[in-house]
Amino acid sequence: MVQSKLLTLLRQLNARQLSRCGQLLPCLATAKNKELIPLYQCLVSYAPEFTSADLAKKQVAKKMGISTKALAYRSSELQQALAQCLLVDALLADPLEQQLGLMQLWHNLDLPKHFAAAARKARSILTDSPSCDWSLLRQEYSYYELEERHSAAYTRGHRPELQAAADALDVAYLAEKLHYLVEMTNARQVLNIPYQLAFATEVKQWAKQADFQAYPVIRIYEQTLTLLEHPENPATFLILRELLQAHETELAEGLRQDIYACLLNHCTKRITQFHDTAYYAHFLELNEYLIARGELLEGGFLVPWRYNNLITVGLRTGRLAWAQDFLETYRSALPPDFRENIYQYNLAHLRYYQQDYDTAQLILNQLDLRDHLLAVAAKNLLAKIYYETDQIELLLTFLEAYRIYIYRQVAAKARLKEQVRNFIEFVRKMARLPPADRAGKAALAAQLPAAAMMLEHEWVKAKLEE
């Protein structure tokens, strides 16, 4: 029973949800209540892990005084009842959705006074809502659409509700379409997924109209899309950051976090692809702002790539003490499955900047490198250590093994493979030059590919200029 759908569901519920289900379950008017409630009470006593050996099917059936076959039926019924409890709880937690549901109900029952009361409450909630995103605009459209349908039954002349519903639909559609365009454009760029961006040109032109520019959520989505499509334009980043910080209290939490993530990803892109070192400061400023607001974590965890990037930027900007403090402070916030490996890699990176090359090399050689992105970062760092400690023969042997490794990585993108190959090629050529061969270094520096086409471009260039 430990692997059953019922226990899988229960493991996903937090303490508040488990408590609410316990409160709501007796309210469900089902003939099986008397049997479902004791079963729920029995199971919930094993929260939050629900992995005890006592949860084996035979043990639970024995404790309940029923057969294992009967337990299977009761478990299925309890799962359905819990789903209903969760739906009721979600509705009770959303006052606006409650009033929209009541508007629909009273309209269907032809109770205009009841409808008007629910409509007033819904309008008040919409007016007082402190935040907005495309989903709230959709609810606002639902409100106007219900008002329009209800007025049609009682009005034969001009109906302002019809115009209001049409206008609300335009706003809701535009915001939601921009939201999807942002998501799909990002996925196309990051994951190379060929989504079809239907009506993208028309929607972007539509969003520029003055009536729609009055909605901060639409302006923010429009600028986010522009940022993704034209990362070469630095003005868009500044416009979006200013817009976000001016209106962040008006935005739903999820949308605000998504836009901050987009800004941070843009900083990373400007640094790695455009070699724009000014974005180191932007990256740190944004993250320090999120740290101060307690908004750095996502779902209670710090995603590994952000942990890596923050420490890397701190090191590259010379803020070693800050990087070390962040390394240790947020170690426990990393997802458990990645925690130790990611921490150790970044510890090695810190030791490299502290010029403790022996410790850094020892740590890197003990990492689990099954993730090819972490492997590439670790191997690049090892190559730099070998070069800077004059272990030239070891470096050349290592680079050949690295070349074979990246060639065999099926999951690695073609662009990454090219960036790695260029790094290997130029480090190999650099290592074979006599230390005093300034002319050879200058000639090699002149052959360097664009920064976006080679990993560790900044480091290689600096070594050739020494």
Residues 222-236: pLDDT tens digits?
Answer: 999 999 999 999 899
From 68, 92, 116, the end of a domain falls on 92
**pLDDT at 151 (0 to 100):** 87
CB 182 within 8 A of CB 227: no
From 151, 182, 213, the end of a domain falls on 182
Q: Average pLDDT of the chain?
A: 92
- 78 and 144 in a single domain? The answer is no
- 65 and 111 in a single domain? The answer is no
From 34, 63, 92, the end of a domain falls on 92
pLDDT at 6 over 90: yes
pLDDT at 103 over 90: yes
Output the DSSP codes for 73-113: HHHHHHHHHHHHHHHHHHHHT-HHHHHHHHHHHHHHTT-HH
What are the pLDDT digits (tens) for 157-204?
Answer: 788 889 999 999 999 999 999 999 999 999 998 888 899 999 999 999
- 77 and 137 in a single domain? The answer is no
- 402 and 446 in a single domain? The answer is yes
β-pair partners for 132: 251
Cα gap 445→387, rounded to integer Å: 17
> What percentage of the chain has pLDDT greater than the value 90?
78
What are the two backbone dihedrals, phi and then psi, of residue 298, each rounded to the nearest 5 degrees?
Answer: -120, 115
**pLDDT at 335 (0 to 100):** 94
What are the pLDDT digits (tens) for 271-297?
Answer: 888 888 899 999 999 999 999 888 888
What are the pLDDT digits (tens) for 393-438?
Answer: 999 999 999 999 999 999 899 999 999 999 999 999 999 999 889 9
What are the pLDDT digits (tens) for 58-74?
Answer: 999 999 989 999 999 99
- 75 and 107 in a single domain? The answer is no
pLDDT at 325 over 90: yes
**pLDDT at 296 (0 to 100):** 87
Q: How many domains does the chain have?
A: 3
Q: Is residue 368 part of a domain?
A: no
Interior CA angle at 415 toward 193 and 381, to 5°? 125
Q: Is residue 466 part of a domain?
A: yes
CB 348 within 8 A of CB 332: no
β-pair partners for 298: 301
Q: Is residue 372 part of a domain?
A: no
Question: Which pTM was predicted?
Answer: 0.72
Domain containing 45 equals 5-92
Cα gap 377→375, rounded to integer Å: 5
What are the pLDDT digits (tens) for 7-33?
Answer: 999 999 999 999 999 999 988 756 556
